[in-house]
Amino acid sequence: MQQTFEIACPACEHVSEQTVWQSINDSVPDAALRIINGEINFLTCPECGNGFLIEENLLYTNPEKKIALHYMPYDPEQTSKGSGHLKKQFGEDYMANPIKFTDWDEFIAALKKQEGIGH
């Protein structure tokens, strides 16, 4: 799922409309590679050229491989509370208990490992 938001550049404070993903799965062509290559939730300011990560929750799933990874850049308590809605929706399915990350680099490393990318 993606939405459009007005995002301010952390370097120059220029505000621009940007697409931000909150969830993505393998039905989106090259979803994992697009995340790894900085094409999802990594923006370049149209004013100053600064590149930066949007600090927004991102759930990645691959139903075929039963992979569910959830990047949640907020405090760990919120991270543990944040997947309650997933359990209601999916029961005990793998998607109800995604592996959670508060660190983007750890999320990317896990995504590469789970999808077998870069080995």
Give yes or no for a contact between 96 and 61, defined as CB atoms under 8 angstroms apart: no
- Taking CA atoms, 52 is separated from 18, 33, 101, 111, in Å, by 12, 18, 18, 20
Which residues make Cβ contacts (< 8 Å) with residue 49, sequence separation at least 6?
none
Name the pTM for this structure.
Answer: 0.81
* Residue of higher predicted confidence among 16 and 83: 16
The domain segmentation of the chain, as residue ranges, is 2-115
pLDDT of 79 higher than 80: no
Share of the chain above pLDDT 70, in %: 82
Residue 86 sits at φ, ψ, to 5 deg, of: -70, -40
Least confident of 23-27, 31-35, 76-80: 76-80
- Taking CA atoms, 54 is separated from 33, 40, 45, 97, in Å, by 17, 9, 12, 24
Confidence of residue 78 (pLDDT cuts 50, 70, 90): low
